[in-house]
């Protein structure tokens, strides 16, 4: 189990590094897909079986597909999509320093106190993943979600609805707040005419 | 080993999640492509989720699972709106360099 954890840790960090270093966004999406897959395996190891499946379905299936569609939509147009150099040369040194300091802080603080836990105080006992009635099983999660945490669950629905409305308002066909270049030109011309008219009067 | 105990020490999970989180921070800070910046934000969401689940398992308290579920929902909403903004900006400027988008700089 420890061995599996370290293999997964190496794979997770490597795929995350690939996500942020890849030249093209499509390659980043592939790296992120691998990252989410390894993360789902880690969730299984933490006996969070429902969330592991949700990770694969929602993240890999929905969110990453959204990224892929946007990349396809944008790069089928005019200019090459990845414009300009990254900011890496300018601030690589300070960024590395800050990250090193923060990581050293994390390492120090987790090495200070050996974590001693008294589990099984709040919930039900752990067991092999996939068996019914153990900690993290779908029944356990669903019971917690629909009894104690029903209000957060309802708020989730509200958040998603607001997001959908926001996306339609932003990027929809008759979006009222989108200054397309043509519309911006029209607005500019109208304003110039208004200024001229004001000057004449 | 008692089945209730975490097979791998919790501090290892904390360290791993921190490393992934800082990789995400580096992606947001160093890259200019807004899509890769959004993906780096996803990395950070997931590092936080990993911590929620690790702590939930350590204490055998599934409140962490509920939090991770909420985080996934909010991340989905954030990704949808962020990508819509990218599409709108690209439509109006044919350019997705985040350093050039300075209209609200004041």
Number of structural domains chain A divides into: 2
CA closest to A28 among chain B residues:
B36
For residue A158, name the pLDDT band (cuts at 50, 70, 90).
Answer: very high
Residue A84 has pLDDT above 60, yes or no: no
Residue A142 lies in a domain: no
Å between A138 CA and nearest CA of chain B: 11
CB nearest A103 (choices: B19, B30, B54): B19
SS3 labels along chain A: CHHHHHHHHHHHHHHHHHHHHCCCHHHHHHHHHHHHHHHHHHHHHCCCHHHHHHHHHHHHHHHHHHHHHHHHHHHCCCCCCCCCCCCHHHHHHHHHHHHHHHHHHHHHHHHHCCCCCCCCCCCCCCCCCCCCCCCCCHHHHHHHHHCCCHHHHHHHHHHHHHHHHHHHHHHCCCCCCCCCHHHHHHHHHHHHHHHHHHHHC
Query: What pLDDT was estimated at residue A110?
Result: 73
Number of structural domains chain B divides into: 1
Task: Collect all residues of chain A within an 8 Å Cβ-Cβ radius of residue B10.
Answer: 115, 117
Task: Determine which of A163, A175, A186 to mutate to test the interface with B (most B C-beta atoms within 10 Å).
Answer: A163
pTM recorded for the entire structure: 0.80
Give the distance, in angstroms, between the CA of residue B11 and the centroid of all CA atoms in the same chain: 20
In CATH, what number is assigned to the domain containing residue B91? 1.10.287.3510
CB nearest A141 (choices: B8, B22, B65): B65
CB nearest A25 (choices: B23, B35, B90): B35
**Which residues form the domain of B101?**
10-105
Most confident of A168-177, B34-43, B93-102: B34-43
Residue B1 lies in a domain: no
Using the 3D structure, point to which of A25, A55, A77 is the last residue of a domain. A77
Report CB contact under 8 Å: A74, B86.
yes
Residue A54 lies in a domain: yes
Residue A126 has pLDDT above 80, yes or no: no
Half-sphere exposure (Cβ direction) of A84: Cα atoms closer than 13 Å: 15
For residue A78, name the pLDDT band (cuts at 50, 70, 90).
Answer: very low
């Amino acid at each position: 189990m420890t061995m599996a954890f370290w293999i997964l840790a190496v794979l997770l960090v490597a795929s995350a590094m690939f996500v942020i270093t890849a030249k093209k966004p499509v390659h980043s999406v592939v790296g992120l897909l691998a990252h989410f897959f390894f993360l789902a395996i880690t969730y299984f190891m933490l006996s969070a079986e429902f969330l592991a499946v949700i990770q694969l379905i929602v993240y890999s299936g929905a969110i990453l597909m959204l990224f892929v569609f946007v990349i396809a939509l944008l790069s089928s147009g005019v200019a090459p999509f990845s414009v300009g150099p990254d900011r890496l040369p300018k601030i690589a040194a300070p960024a590395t320093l800050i990250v090193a300091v923060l990581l050293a802080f994390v390492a120090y603080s987790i090495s200070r106190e050996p974590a001693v836990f008294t589990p099984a105080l709040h919930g039900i006992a752990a067991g092999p993943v996939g068996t019914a009635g153990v900690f993290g099983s779908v029944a356990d999660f669903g019971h917690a979600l629909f009894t104690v945490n029903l209000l957060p669950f309802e708020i989730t629905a509200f958040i998603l609805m607001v997001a959908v409305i926001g996306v339609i308002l932003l990027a929809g066909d008759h979006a009222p707040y989108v200054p397309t270049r043509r519309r911006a030109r029209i607005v500019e011309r109208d304003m110039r005419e208004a200024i001229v008219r004001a000057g004449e009067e | 080993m008692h089945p209730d105990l975490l097979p791998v020490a919790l501090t290892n999970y904390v360290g791993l999640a921190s490393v992934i989180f800082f990789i995400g921070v580096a992606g947001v800070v160093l890259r200019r492509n807004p899509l890769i910046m959004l993906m780096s934000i996803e990395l950070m969401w997931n590092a936080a989720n990993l911590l929620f689940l690790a702590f939930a398992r350590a204490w055998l308290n599934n409140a962490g699972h509920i939090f991770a579920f909420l985080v996934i929902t909010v991340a989905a909403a954030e990704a949808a709106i962020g990508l819509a903004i990218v599409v709108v900006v690209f439509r109006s400027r044919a350019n997705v360099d985040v350093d050039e988008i300075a209209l609200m700089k004041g």
